[in-house]
Structure 1
Amino acid sequence: MEYSTGDVAAARSLQFATYIYTSTATFWTYDYVCSLHEEWTFLLRSNWSKMKGLYIVTRYLPFVVLITDLYMSFTPNGNPSKCRMLVNISSGFEMILAIFSAFFFILRTYALWNKNRILLATLLGIFFVTSVSIIVDTAVSATYATSPIPGITGCYQSSASNQIFIPFLLFSVFGLGLMILTLIRSIQSWRTNSNRLYVVLVNHNIFYYACAFLFSTMNIFTSLLLQDTYRTVLNSFQFLTLAIVAARMHIHLWQTGQHLRGSSGLVHIPLTDMSSVNVTA
């Protein structure tokens, strides 16, 4: 039986989606197993706070997202309505994940700028607009289809908004802006502040914002040039990877605070919880 070029391209994109989801799930599981001791040490010994709750959601929500994505990829499904429901569930969780992981670093930037409330309000306002734009574009009405080729499971968007790149353009600009704010603050205080915790905070911020900028830039081009399935998969990969990075960095920051408190007694551990930040100490 002969298939059209579109059917073959859709089948390849679905296979690509399956590979990426499987690889991401393997990486997440491997990362969790390797950091299991650190994970439970942090959960059992750290104080309960808003930041700890933020960490738990950011760390464990990818588990739900990956189960949904793998179920969608491996289960034969000829019902477009069910397919759309699964995609919406996965997209919704991914958006929550993106908001929670980014919120870590918005608060860190707020801490670096000596808890400037005007800056915090501005950052939250811009981030809210960016998040809403992503939610609106991902929830736009789209047609879903399955591959007619035997053995190819999963479903894909046969049509989508041509302006899906706009939210990621906003996201990349937002990440670049936060990175610039962090660099400005670090340049202003690098001579007067040699606190190890401060250095870790700055390095984490710059690395995370650079990753967010690069991922968002990549998604801009994939949204413009590639088929819809590739867009969806790479969007998911961005949010999941950034969540893993944010969680690992938070544990590292907490461990640094514990080490410094044990060695000098001068560092207050609430710094890692962002409840009583004093980065100039």
Structure 2
Amino acid sequence: MEYSAVDISAATSLQRLAYLYMSMTTFWTYDYACALHQEWEFLRRSRWTKVKALYIITRHLPFFLIAMYLCLNFAAIEDPNKCRILINVYSSLSQISAICSECFFMIRTYALWNNNRIVLIGLLSTAFAMIVTSVSIRFATIATSYVTTSAIPGTPSCPSRSSSVLYFMSFIFLFVFQLVLITLTLTRAIQSWWSTKGPLQAILVKHNIFYYVCGLLLSAVNILVPALFPNSPYYTTLQNFQVSILAILATRMHLHLWHLDQHMHSSDALIYIYMSDMSPADYTV
């Protein structure tokens, strides 16, 4: 049977999407395997707190996301309504995963500011406004999205696309929120550097600026790509990739701080912030 050039192009795009999602799955599995020993030590030795429960949710929720987007891209689902239900479930889990990841950065920033109540109220207010707005926009655009199908048998046909420019606006709110977090963290880092006169690079590493910057850059990419290439079928992959990377960044940062906490008594050079206990920061060096 012969197919038109449009059918072949659509099938090729869907096949590439499937390859991209398979690459994301491989990357996530590799990262999990690399950190398995440290994570097992953390889960076994750390005491049970709300932050530990948040860690478990943030770390393992992407497994469900991986299973769902593999199902959406590889399973032969011919019913568009079933596809839309799965996409709605996936979007809900994706939102929860992103919120849990950002909670770690909120807690870290709150600890850096010595549990300042004004900072906490400002962060919670901003986070609440961001969550309500982004969730509303996300599900409003999903309702108007369409499922990409292929006339060629055996081709993945469940990924959805949205023609609405509002879809990537949720990442604008996320970008603004991350910008607030990184501004507060940089302010604290500069204050620490000014008082200690230590190496600026060491101060920035100590305050985990790298994790904040990575999340901010991913949000910037997810804003620019849909704006510059509105007809590209691949920008949703970038958005799903950011959700996975945010979970990795947040949990890696927490593991790093927890291990520093464990070895703190054996080192008198630096005093770190105990994010696992949310205790106030000490900036003496």
Q: Same fold (TM over 0.5)?
A: yes
Hey, what's the Cα distance between the residues in 2 that align with 1:198 and 1:233?
34
Hey, what's the Cα distance between the residues in 1 that align with 2:177 and 2:25?
28
**Paired residue for 2:4?**
3
Query: What TM-score does the superposition give when structure 1 sets the normalisation length?
Result: 0.88
Change (3 A) 1:177 1:272: closer
Shift of 1:229: 4.1
| 8 Å contact kept, 1:159–1:228 | no
Hey, what's the Cα distance between the residues in 1 that align with 2:170 and 2:130?
6
**Paired residue for 2:253?**
249
Letter in 1 for 2:97: L
Hey, what's the Cα distance between the residues in 1 that align with 2:175 and 2:204?
24
Change (3 A) 1:96 1:159: closer
**Paired residue for 1:239?**
243
Change (3 A) 1:63 1:252: same
Shift of 1:191: 4.5
| 8 Å contact kept, 1:158–1:228 | no
What is the 5 A alignment of 1:188-267?
Answer: 188-192=191-195, 201-202=206-207, 204=208, 206-224=209-227, 225-227=229-231, 229-264=233-268
Shift of 1:174: 1.9
Shift of 1:8: 4.1
**Paired residue for 1:36?**
36
Shift of 1:43: 0.5
What is the 5 A alignment of 1:62-73?
Answer: 62-73=62-73
**Paired residue for 1:114?**
114
Moved more, 11-20 or 21-30: 11-20
| 8 Å contact kept, 1:97–1:239 | yes
Letter in 1 for 2:242: Q
Unaligned runs of 5+ in 1: none
Change (3 A) 1:273 1:190: same
Change (3 A) 1:8 1:221: farther
Q: Which SS does the other structure have where 2:263 is aligned?
A: helix
Give the paired residue count.
275
RMSD: 2.4
**Paired residue for 1:273?**
276
Hey, what's the Cα distance between the residues in 2 that align with 1:135 and 1:241?
20
| 8 Å contact kept, 1:165–1:223 | yes
Hey, what's the Cα distance between the residues in 1 that align with 2:104 and 2:230?
31
Deviations 1:210-231 (A, max 9, x none): 1122111111122232447423
| 8 Å contact kept, 2:11–2:152 | yes
1:143 is aligned, of 134, 143, 146, to 146
Shift of 1:151: 2.6
